[in-house]
Structure 1
Amino acid sequence: MFKFTCGGSDYPVTVTFYQPAAIADFKPQRRPLVVLLPGGGYEFYADRENEIMALQYLAQGFAVAVVAYRLRQQPPVLPGALYQLAGVIQEFRQHAARYAISPEHILLVGFSAGGHLAALYADLWPQLARNRGVTAATLRVSALTLGYPVIGLRLGWPLTTAARATITGDWPDHEADRLVTPQNPPTFIWTTADDELVPADNTRRYVTALQQQGILNQSLIYPHGPHGLSLARAVTAFPQSFDPTDPAFGERFIRPDVAGWFDRQLQWLDGVWQLNRFWRQQ
Structure 2
Amino acid sequence: MRHIRAALLVAAIMIVPTTVACGGTSDTAAPEAPAVAKDCPSSPMPANPAGGNGPAAAVATPTIVVPVDTSTSTVLRPGTAAQIQCGRTPVTTHSDLTYATVPLVDGQGKQLAMDIQVPQTAGPKPLVVYVPGGGFVMADKGGNLALRTFVAEAGYVVASIQYRVQPDGATYADSISDVKAAIRYLRAHAAEYDINPGSVGVWGDSAGGYLAAMTGVSNGDKRYDIGADLDQSSDVQAVIDKFGAADLSRVQADFDPDTQRAMAPLLASTARYVNGPTSTASLADDPAAVARANPITYIKPNDPPFVIFHGSVDTTISPSQTLELHNALRAAGVDSTRYVVEGAAHGDVAFTGSPQNSLQWTTQDVAGRLVDFLNQHLER
| TM-score using structure 2 length | 0.60
Aligned-partner Cα distance in 1 for 2:162–2:270: 20
Moved more, 158-167 or 172-181: 158-167
Q: Percent identity?
A: 20
Structure 1 position 186, deviation (Å): 0.7
Structure 1 position 166, deviation (Å): 3.0
SS at match of 1:267: helix
1:57 to 151, 154, 161: 151
After TM superposition, list the pairs within 5 Å mapping 1:104-143 onto structure 2: 104-128=198-222, 132=226, 138-143=233-238
User: 2:118 matched to 1:13?
Assistant: no
1:204 to 320, 323, 334: 323
Structure 1 position 237, deviation (Å): 7.3
Moved more, 146-155 or 42-51: 42-51
Structure 1 gaps of 5+ residues are: 240-249
Q: Cα RMSD (Å) of the superposition?
A: 3.0
Residue matched to 1:66: 160
Moved more, 94-103 or 251-260: 251-260
Residue matched to 1:156: 251
Of structures 1 and 2, the one with the larger relative CO (CA 8 A, separation 6+) is: 2
Structure 1 position 6, deviation (Å): 2.1
Residue matched to 2:366: 261
Moved more, 90-99 or 132-141: 132-141
Residue matched to 1:215: 334
Deviations 1:102-144 (A, max 9, x none): 1122110000011111111112232235764998971111101
1:4 to 84, 88, 97: 97
Distance 1:256 1:214, change over 3 A: closer
- Between Structure 1 and Structure 2, the one with more helix by share is 1
Distance 1:253 1:136, change over 3 A: same
Superposed structure 1 runs of 4+ greater than 6 Å apart: 133-137
SS at match of 1:79: helix
Aligned-partner Cα distance in 1 for 2:274–2:352: 31
| TM-score using structure 1 length | 0.79
Aligned-partner Cα distance in 2 for 1:183–1:12: 34
Deviations 1:262-281 (A, max 9, x none): 101222332334x6xx3xxx
Structure 1 position 37, deviation (Å): 0.8
2:135 to 33, 41, 61: 41
Structure 1 position 223, deviation (Å): 3.1
1:83 to 155, 177, 196: 177
How many positions carry a matched residue from both structures?
256
Residue 145 of structure 1 aligns to which amino acid in structure 2?
Answer: I
SS at match of 2:161: strand
Residue matched to 2:376: 271
Structure 1 position 73, deviation (Å): 1.5
**Would you say the 8 A contact 2:219–2:234 is kept in 1?**
yes
Structure 1 position 49, deviation (Å): 4.0
Structure 1 position 205, deviation (Å): 0.6
User: 2:242 matched to 1:147?
Assistant: yes
